[in-house]
Amino acid sequence: MARILISGGAGFIGSHLCDKFIQDGHEVIAVDNLITGSIENIEHLFGHPNFSFIKYDVTNYTHIPGHLDYVLHFASPASPIDYLKHPIHTLKVGSLGTHKMLGLAKEKGACFLLASTSEVYGDPLVHPQPEDYWGNVNPIGIRGVYDEAKRFAEAMTMAYHRYHKLDTRIARIFNTFGPRMRIDDGRAIPTFITQALQNEQVTVFGDGTQTRSICYIDDLVEGIFKLLFSNYAEPVNLGNPEEISIIDLALEIIELCNSSSKIVFKDLPEDDPKVRQPDITKAREILGWEPKVSRSQGLLSTIEYFRNKLLIS
Ligand code: UDP
């Protein structure tokens, strides 16, 4: 049985990781300051003997009594409207928070995993994006607070790996979706689903030709596990390489919801990446991982989750 700290443990991805580690018989300490995470995501784990929760901001010095085997740093606002709303927190948790979590892992002799992002590639000029592409990021743009914080976080993680010989992993996570995304996080999938379920206009930004490649949460969690238990310290892309334009995604969601919604076009936000698709050759070869859940299967489970959410809210 391993003892694991997950920062951002009450968030969308963090809470699914808590579930998986608990299911596998490990002990989990979830830490979250709840600015974008939610207690509802983990309330079913309260009272479990192997689970504990600490409401805390990991940009501060963090002391955890006892040993730790793994530190997973998932704390960060992660949707464009969240990091626009919390620009300084986003920069701090990616920089100071990563430093504190690395320091904790070093103190405990634990393995550290960083939740990095496809945003390190910015608005990419290479397509699909392999890990050795250095990216095209506007450091002073509105998304720069997230992109640059995560780029700094990767640099810091590699420095701890090289200088302190810390055992580290870097997951570059591409667009992921599933139950427990926030209804109001502003991202395309929760927004389109809630609009379609209520037969409201579906808001497509720009002309909708920009692309994304979306991965279902269960596949991502399996990828994180495989990376964690590998011994590979360089960054690994985790995402579903099946690419779709945003307009086609909106139409697919409208159809899967049996909705009468129509599409309405809105302004494209500043620095919105035009394309995004992971090259997952490394994940396939090094981890033996690739996504298994089809887009429609994943969307149907997510739609079910939001249908229930809308009923009770
Ligand atoms: N988007 C959209 N309508 C919305 C929300 C998002 O057309 O109501 C677009 C957004 O401009 C982007 C894509 O959908 O091109 C994916 O956006 P999301 O916020 O989900 O994630 P991103 O990949 O941009 O971080």
Give the pLDDT confidence of 112-129 residue by residue, as tens digits.
999 999 999 999 999 999
Same domain, 32 and 159: yes
Query: Measured from the CA of 81, which atom of ligand 1 is nearest?
Result: 19
Checking if the pLDDT of 312 tops 70, the result is: no
Q: What average pLDDT does the segment 95-103 reach? A: 98
Q: Is 288 a member of any domain?
A: no
- Could you tell me if 69 and 87 are in contact, meaning their C-beta atoms sit under 8 angstroms apart? no
Q: Is 36 a member of any domain?
A: yes
Same domain, 154 and 206: no
Q: Is 284 a member of any domain?
A: no
Q: List residues with catalytic annotation.
A: 146
pLDDT of the residue at 311: 87
Same domain, 141 and 258: no
Q: Cβ(210) to ligand 1 under 6 A?
A: yes
Assign 266 a pLDDT band (cuts: 50, 70, 90): very high
Same domain, 145 and 226: yes
Q: Is 282 a member of any domain?
A: no
For the stretch 141-190, pLDDT in tens is 999 999 999 999 999 999 999 999 999 999 999 999 999 999 999 999 99
| pTM, entire model | 0.97
Q: Give residue 108 CA to ligand 1 midpoint distance, Å.
A: 39
The residue whose CA is least distant from atom 11 of ligand 1 is 205
Same domain, 96 and 200: no
pLDDT of the residue at 64: 97
Mean pLDDT of the chain: 97
Same domain, 79 and 124: yes
Number of domains composing the chain: 2
Neighbour tally for 98: CB within 10 Å: 30
Same domain, 69 and 182: no
For the stretch 245-262, pLDDT in tens is 999 999 999 999 999 999
Range of the domain at 182: 178-212+242-275+293-308
Q: Cβ(272) to ligand 1 under 6 A?
A: yes
Q: Is 313 a member of any domain?
A: no
CATH code for position 204: 3.90.25.10
Q: Cβ(128) to ligand 1 under 6 A?
A: no
Phi-psi region of 122 (alpha: psi -120 to 50; beta: other; left: phi over 0): left
Same domain, 35 and 163: yes
> What are the residues whose beta carbons fall under 8 Å from the beta carbon of 184, sequence distance 6 or more?
190
Q: Give residue 124 CA to ligand 1 midpoint distance, Å.
A: 16
Separation of first and last alpha carbons in the chain: 38
Q: Is 286 a member of any domain?
A: no
Q: Cβ(80) to ligand 1 under 6 A?
A: yes
- Could you tell me if 237 and 283 are in contact, meaning their C-beta atoms sit under 8 angstroms apart? yes
For residues 173 and 290, what is the distance between their CA atoms, to the nearest angstrom? 13
CATH code for position 115: 3.40.50.720
Cα torsion angle, 76, 78, 84, 85, sign: negative
